[in-house]
Amino acid sequence: MAIGRTVGVVGAGQLARMMAQAAIPLDIRLVLLAADANDGAAQVVRDVIVGSPDDPIKVRELAQASDVITFDHELVDPEFLATLESEGYTVYPSATTMALAQNKRRQRAELSAIGLPVPAFADVDSVEDVIAFGDIHGWPVVLKASRGGYDGRGVWMLDDAGAATATVAEAHTAGLTLLVEERVPLDLELAVLTARRPNGDIAIWEPIETVQRNGMCNELVVPVQTESRIAAEAVSIARRIVEHIEPVGVMAIEFFVSGGRVLINELAPRPHNSGHWTIEGSQTSQFEQHLRAVLDLPLGDTARMAPVIATENLLGPANGTDPTDVLAHALLIHGAHVHFYGKGARPGRKLGHVTVLGDDRAETRQRASLAIQQLTGEFRS
Ligand SMILES: Nc1ncnc2c1ncn2[C@@H]1O[C@H](COP(=O)(O)OP(=O)(O)O)[C@@H](O)[C@H]1O
Ligand SMILES: [Mg+2]
């Protein structure tokens, strides 16, 4: 039984903006809690509450205006979400799921406890913990902030005990909780997007190849180019995670593939960068699926719409120019679906993406890349 048609979204960035796009044909109404009235989604949605996701009064106001609340980001206090749940508000994903999403230490501990494959890891309370870990598992090691990292901020490769000493001191001064992991030699990174509705129905998309540059996901390609055994294993691990956590909504799971092994990296219980290809590339976009799931509506088909789908992120050019000024150039590229997030251009900032559907892997990737080059004026070999 559907629970209504008004979805409150905490945050008004690009994910909320693309949810708004998906909400229109289904006549689902969104209400946003935007930190700033000019945020990407606040530009295109009528009902906006302006306020901080840290402000309980504002989050409660959003919940009162909505049939269910969901999230554009993870910057909300899970304890306050639990309070809202105890008052009878519907929060999807739940306070418990949001708490897990915000805690990389807990993700590692919880998934390894049920026998799922994760990199070797340890909690870090002092630099000695990192040095002991490096001496056992080998250097370099990867130090991570348990909470609050994204796009590689909050991830440090440490070559030796000296680097560990400096970085741990700095991170502790900044008040971060840390964990350390083995540095996995990566053959490939994959993501599996999942969706679950409150009645327990699950939908899973095929794995996505996520190509990273400078710690940030830069490109997506579907289907993945790897042994079918690897792809099948990632999907089966993803299913076990969903059955264990029982999240409601879309959840992305990032994987490392290393020497024929599939290891879980991290979870994000919301539409995710790795799912942007689904807008044109899948029977059901991740944004529509998320809205269906949190409203307890039937989930949609996850089949691919073309032999190959490639999505490339648009980052603000180094020279500070604004890609929206040269939209016409990108639209000359055959089949380029351009998405702008309504954010001001700053060098390196994620401003949008381009998706291309095609028949041939190299040609499809190249068209996505060409469209991005038209927008940025930056040409890579
Ligand atoms: N243990 C690891 N071994 C090798 N590479 C890693 C490891 N952990 C992270 N990375 C690299 O850093 C990227 C960002 O790490 P991740 O934990 O996903 O942080 P974020 O929250 O910023 O996405 C990964 O996508 C991967 O390329
Ligand atoms: Mg990540």
Domain-embedded: residue 87: yes
SS3 category, 304? strand
348 and 283 assigned to the same domain: yes
CATH code, 335: 3.30.470.20
CATH code, 76: 3.40.50.20
Q: Please check whether residue 282 is in contact with residue 222, taking contact to mean a CB–CB distance below 8 angstroms.
A: no
Hey, which residues does 352 pair with through a beta bridge?
314, 340
166 and 197 assigned to the same domain: no
Kindly give the parts of the chain with pLDDT less than 70. 1-2, 380-381
Which residues line ligand 1 at a C-beta cut-off of 6 Å? 119, 142, 144, 149-152, 154-155, 181, 183-184, 186, 189, 212, 215, 254, 265-266
200 and 222 assigned to the same domain: yes
What are the pLDDT digits (tens) for 125-167?
999 999 999 999 999 999 999 998 778 889 999 999 999 999 9
CA pair distance 106, 112, nearest whole angstrom: 10
261 and 173 assigned to the same domain: no
Q: Which residues span the domain enclosing 134?
A: 120-182
Distance 185 CA to ligand 1 centre (A): 11
Domain-embedded: residue 102: no
Q: Which atom of ligand 1 is nearest to the CA of 150?
A: 22
Out of 106, 212, 256, mutate this one to test ligand 1's pocket (max ligand atoms within 8 Å of CB): namely 256
168 and 128 assigned to the same domain: yes
CA pair distance 357, 65, nearest whole angstrom: 39
CA pair distance 32, 59, nearest whole angstrom: 10
194 and 304 assigned to the same domain: yes
24 and 62 assigned to the same domain: yes
Domain-embedded: residue 223: yes
Decide which of 182, 197, 222 is a domain's last residue: 182
Residue with tokens 């020279």: 319
Domain-embedded: residue 28: yes
Q: Please check whether residue 190 is in contact with residue 244, taking contact to mean a CB–CB distance below 8 angstroms.
A: no
Q: What is the pLDDT of residue 3?
A: 78
Domain-embedded: residue 114: no
267 and 287 assigned to the same domain: yes
Domain-embedded: residue 365: yes
Domain-embedded: residue 115: no
Decide which of 162, 182, 202 is a domain's last residue: 182
214 and 336 assigned to the same domain: yes
Q: What is the pLDDT of residue 146?
A: 95
CATH code, 149: 3.30.1490.20
DSSP symbol at 90:
-
Split into its structural domains, the chain has a count of 3
Domain-embedded: residue 35: yes
CA pair distance 123, 54, nearest whole angstrom: 27
Q: Please check whether residue 31 is in contact with residue 66, taking contact to mean a CB–CB distance below 8 angstroms.
A: yes
Out of 107, 141, 155, 350, mutate this one to test ligand 1's pocket (max ligand atoms within 8 Å of CB): namely 155
54 and 173 assigned to the same domain: no
| pTM (whole model) above 0.95 | yes
172 and 292 assigned to the same domain: no
172 and 192 assigned to the same domain: no
